[in-house]
């Protein structure tokens, strides 16, 4: 097993995750199976209880793990499916260590960060790497070198490096090269951050520099000299037009060859699959505008997988998809503004929790349904579509979800198995579940299959009591998991598709999610 360990310096938000995922991709292009582990030094057990306002989207894995959004980047760049074990947090590590201590596993010893916590970290890294059956395991250490939280993890990877063969563990450090007002590239932050790393006993094999402009040869040489690496090990990862262009950028800088030589490996392939996808993305013509009516619209990353899924579908259809993030609450404050939706080619309502913004979402869905605008609803976006239909077509004015209000018509109700659940962490209906699709339905056509598996994250569902009535009135439930409704569609409508699951988690740059593809196609066909 080869480990490529990625650390970050200077500041957060440098795109360390994208850099790591891109490194993985170029190694995959050379014929290696690559897996990835993300270390998050926070105390939370997982990202499931964290607000997308603060931390970006919660990415759901096939086994129901609720993880950091970087896991989504790894799945998309490497075209793999990961499990919860691939996201290691301080919370998980300490929970195990404390459980072991309570069981008496440490045989009377004083339990300490070194060796007990660091051993636990190494054991997890090795077990996950091994059970993935990959040849190369990327390990991204979250946070910035120097943070108190990440210390035990950095110490653990230092030990790992010592215990494994030298060429089996390689370190990449991602830093920032800012420019002064005269446009000169500054290396001091990088020097300081590498110094910090070396104080911890870690020596980077490669330094990836993030910069607005290409990092100049002189700058690279200076970094090489002060940070004790060859100049060819200093890689310029200057801003790219799109994240999917980063692998090529790194490749052109010679990163793949250098990494392989450091790992003692030879190139086995030269796959152009990724390049072809990027070429397709570059050569799109025309565009569609989609209104995403949500709640967490201030932070770009809150709906990351949706943004990427729209892009994937656009690549396949051959058009650019411009997403406009609209705050649902604005439609509540100013009901007349709903007509602004006329300028978009389609409307998407994403998942969410809590009552805030839901009335605005319901108005947007009503607009989509009544104006025959393509509509895609995801999770809460399906639940609110059902509420809208019950109110405005069936005439149940007070129809609602029991999550959102007390009502005589709970068309969306708590999943029976959720009764009595008190803990918030990891207790939803999570991860992969199958659905059977109605022959001849839109769902059936989009997926080209009678049964599908998609990922879930919810506590509420369509109340079975209302199904017959809804279907008679024109909303069909064409994807079902036994008596659980997974898909709602309105066949009379141009494109009205809503799912209880989250198709955005399985979309890939060269394999778009079928509902997204259908949605983008419906928007594009209208224009052309």
Q: Is 352 in the site for ligand GLN (CB under 6 A)?
A: yes
Give the DSSP H/E element, type plus range, for residue 74. Answer: helix 70-78
Q: Is the dihedral of CA 235, 238, 243, 245 positive or negative?
A: negative
Distances (CA, A) of 34 to 19, 129, 412: 14, 10, 42
Q: Please name which of 425, 365, 373 lies closest in space to residue 389, comparing C-alpha atoms.
A: 365
Query: CB 482 → ligand GLN: shortest distance, Å?
Result: 17
Q: Is 393 helix (H, G, I), strand (E, B) or coil?
A: coil
Task: List residues with catalytic annotation.
Answer: 379, 502, 504
Query: CB 192 → ligand GLN: shortest distance, Å?
Result: 42
Q: Is the dihedral of CA 60, 62, 67, 68 positive or negative?
A: negative
Nearer to ligand GLN, 202 or 349 (CB): 349
Q: Is 152 in the site for ligand GLN (CB under 6 A)?
A: no
Q: Decide if 520 contacts 310 (C-beta within 8 A).
A: yes
Which of 311-319, 443-451, 452-460, 462-470 is the region at the interface with ligand GLN (rule: CB under 6 A)? 452-460
Q: Is 459 in the site for ligand GLN (CB under 6 A)?
A: yes
Nearer to ligand GLN, 351 or 503 (CB): 351
Query: CB 380 → ligand GLN: shortest distance, Å?
Result: 3
Query: CB 463 → ligand GLN: shortest distance, Å?
Result: 12
Among 375, 460, 505, 524, binds ligand GLN (CB under 6 A): 460
Which of 5-13, 232-240, 387-395, 457-465 is the region at the interface with ligand GLN (rule: CB under 6 A)? 457-465
Which of 97-105, 250-258, 295-303, 376-384 is the region at the interface with ligand GLN (rule: CB under 6 A)? 376-384
Among 2, 116, 158, 458, binds ligand GLN (CB under 6 A): 458
Which of 16-24, 83-91, 160-168, 351-359 is the region at the interface with ligand GLN (rule: CB under 6 A)? 351-359
Among 251, 403, 454, 489, binds ligand GLN (CB under 6 A): 403
Nearer to ligand GLN, 310 or 379 (CB): 379
Nearer to ligand GLN, 140 or 413 (CB): 413
Distances (CA, A) of 449 to 167, 211, 431, 474: 46, 46, 20, 23
> Please, what is the end-to-end C-alpha distance for the chain in angstroms?
51
Where b means 16+ CB within 10 Å and e means fewer, 197-213 reads: beebebebbbbbbbbee
Residue 452 burial (10 A CB sphere; 0-12, 13-18, 19+): buried
Among 353, 433, 496, 516, binds ligand GLN (CB under 6 A): 353
Give, as one character, the DSSP assignment of residue 243.
G
Opening angle at CA 429, ends 423 and 431, nearest 5: 120
Among 260, 379, 487, 523, binds ligand GLN (CB under 6 A): 379
Interaction site with ligand GLN (CB under 6 A)? 351-353, 379-380, 383, 403, 457-460
């Amino acid at each position: 097993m080869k480990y490529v360990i990625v650390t970050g310096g200077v500041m957060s938000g440098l795109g360390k995750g994208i850099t790591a995922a891109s490194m993985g991709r170029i190694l995959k292009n050379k014929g290696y199976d690559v897996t990835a582990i993300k270390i998050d030094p926070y105390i939370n057990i997982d990202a499931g209880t964290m607000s997308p306002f603060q931390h970006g989207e919660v990415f759901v894995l096939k086994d129901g793990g609720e993880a950091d959004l970087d896991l989504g980047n790894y799945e998309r760049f490497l075209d793999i499916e990961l499990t919860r074990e691939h996201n290691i947090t301080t919370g998980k590590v300490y929970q195990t260590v404390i459980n072991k201590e309570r069981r008496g596993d440490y045989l009377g010893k004083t339990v300490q960060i070194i060796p007990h916590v660091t051993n636990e970290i190494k054991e997890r890294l090795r077990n996950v790497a091994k059970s993935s059956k990959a040849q190369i395991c990327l390990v991204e250490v979250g946070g910035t070198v120097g943070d108190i939280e990440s210390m035990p993890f950095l110490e653990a990877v230092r030990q790992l490096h010592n215990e494994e063969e030298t060429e089996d563990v390689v370190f990449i450090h991602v830093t920032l090269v800012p420019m002064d007002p005269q446009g000169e590239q500054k290396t001091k932050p990088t020097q300081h951050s590498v110094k910090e790393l070396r104080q911890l006993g870690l020596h980077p094999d490669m330094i990836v520099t993030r910069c607005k402009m290409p990092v100049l040869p002189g700058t690279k040489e200076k970094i090489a000299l002060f940070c004790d690496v060859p100049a060819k090990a200093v890689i310029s990862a200057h801003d790219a037009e799109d994240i999917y262009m980063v692998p090529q950028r790194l490749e052109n800088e010679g990163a793949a060859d250098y990494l392989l030589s450091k790992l003692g490996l030879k190139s086995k392939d030269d796959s152009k699959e990724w390049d072809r996808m990027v070429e397709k993305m570059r050569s799109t013509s025309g565009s569609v505008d989609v209104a995403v009516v949500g709640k967490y619209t201030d932070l770009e990353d809150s709906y990351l997988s949706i943004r990427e899924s729209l892009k994937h579908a656009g690549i396949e259809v051959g058009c650019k998809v411009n997403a406009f993030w609209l705050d649902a609450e604005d439609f509540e404050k100013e009901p007349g503004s709903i007509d602004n939706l006329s300028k978009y080619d389609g409307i998407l309502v994403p998942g969410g929790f809590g009552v805030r913004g839901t009335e605005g979402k319901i108005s947007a869905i009503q607009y989509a349904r009544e104006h025959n605008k393509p509509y895609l609803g995801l999770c809460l976006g399906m639940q609110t579509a059902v509420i809208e239909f019950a109110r405005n077509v069936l005439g149940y004015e007070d129809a609602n979800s029991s999550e959102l209000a007390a009502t005589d018509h709970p068309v969306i109700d708590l999943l029976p198995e959720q009764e009595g659940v008190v803990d918030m962490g990891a207790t939803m209906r999570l991860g992969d579940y199958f659905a059977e699709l109605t022959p001849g339905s839109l769902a059936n056509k989009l997926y080209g299959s009678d049964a599908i598996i998609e990922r879930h994250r919810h506590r509420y569902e369509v109340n079975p009591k209302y199904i017959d009535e809804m279907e008679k009135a024109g909303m069909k439930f064409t994807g079902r998991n036994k008596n659980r409704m997974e898909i709602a569609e309105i066949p009379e409508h141009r494109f009205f598709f809503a799912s209880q699951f989250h198709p955005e988690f399985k979309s890939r740059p060269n394999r778009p999610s079928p509902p997204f593809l259908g949605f983008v196609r419906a928007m594009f066909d209208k224009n052309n």
